[in-house]
Structure 1
C-alpha cells in the first residue's frame, strides 16, 4: 500500500474551516444579519489561544462563546479570530487560532460544523501552520503516515427543507 495517498480528510477539514472563516469575515464587514448568531467552541489549551487566565482556569479544555448581541472588535484572518467579549461585566480580548475551533454553529438556520481535533502525532497543518511550528512532532514519528478509516460528513441535516 502506497504512503502517497491523497488526504481527503484534511482537504475537507480545511474547506469546512474556510466556511467558518468566510462567515466570520462577513460578520466582521457587515455585522450579523437577521437572527443569525454563532456558538463557537474551541480548545483552550491549543497553541496560540490567548484568553484571560480566570477563563482558562474555569474552562481548562474547551469553552463555547456566543457571538450575538455584545461582541466587539471582531478581526478575522486565515489563521485566527480575535474578538472582545464581556465576562462578568469586564471586556476581555480572545485570540483563537482557526485550528483550535472544535464546533461552529448558527442555530438560527440550523447549521453546525464539528471538527476533528488535530492529530497530536501529525500536528495541525491544514489551517494553522504557525501553531504546527510551536508543536514539534515527537522524534521518530512519521508525519506522512495516513490514518486508517475515513470521515463522512452528511450535509443533509443542515439544509433547509
Structure 2
C-alpha cells in the first residue's frame, strides 16, 4: 500500500481524459463555432510519431494548431492521430496524451498545462514555443507551474 494519494497523477489522468472527450466530439462532429486548439507536445516522447524532418526541426517540443485545416482525426484511449498541413505539406502525426504539455482553446479562454517531475526540477524557465510552419508564434499557453490546472487566459490578452 502506498503512503498517500497521488492527487497530481489522478488530476493528470482526469485532464487527459477530458482532452480525449473533447477530441472524440471533434472527430464525430467537427470543430464547432470558433473553437480551435493549440497543442504543445513532447516530440521526443517514445510513442509520439511524426515525420523525421519535423522531429529534426523540433527535437524537444512542438506546438500544433487544429483550426481550419486538419484531416483524418482518429482518437484512441492512448492518444490521437491527425493530418496537419505544414506549408502545403500534409503530415500525419500521432500524439499520445502523455506527451501533451499544453492544450489551449483560446476561443473560450480554456487551457491546461501538464508538468512532469523533470520539468519541476529545472530552472523554471518556460521554453519559447517554436516558430515555423504549423506553429503559432504566440499560442497563449498558461505559464503557471502547477499540475493540470484550468487557468484563465485573460492576462494573455493584448
TM-score of the superposed pair, with normalisation by structure 2? 0.74
TM-score of the superposed pair, with normalisation by structure 1? 0.73
Query: Is 1:157–2:152 an aligned residue pair?
Result: yes
Contact 1:43 1:101 in 2 (8 A): yes
Q: Structure 1 residues 94, 153: closer, same or farther in 2, change over 3 A?
A: closer
Contact 1:71 1:86 in 2 (8 A): yes
* Structure 2 residue aligned with 1:66: 65
* Structure 2 residue aligned with 1:32: 31
* Structure 2 residue aligned with 1:96: 95
Deviations 1:14-43 (A, max 9, x none): 111111111111100000000000000000
Query: Is 1:7–2:17 an aligned residue pair?
Result: no
Structure exhibiting the larger radius of gyration computed from Cα positions: 1
Matches within 5 A, 1:1-161: 3-117=2-116, 151=146, 155=150, 157=152
Aligned alpha-carbon RMSD (Å): 2.2
How many residue pairs end up in the alignment? Answer: 128
Cα deviation, residue 9, structure 1: 0.9
- The runs of 5 or more residues in structure 1 that have no matched partner are 121-150
- The runs of 5 or more residues in structure 2 that have no matched partner are 120-145
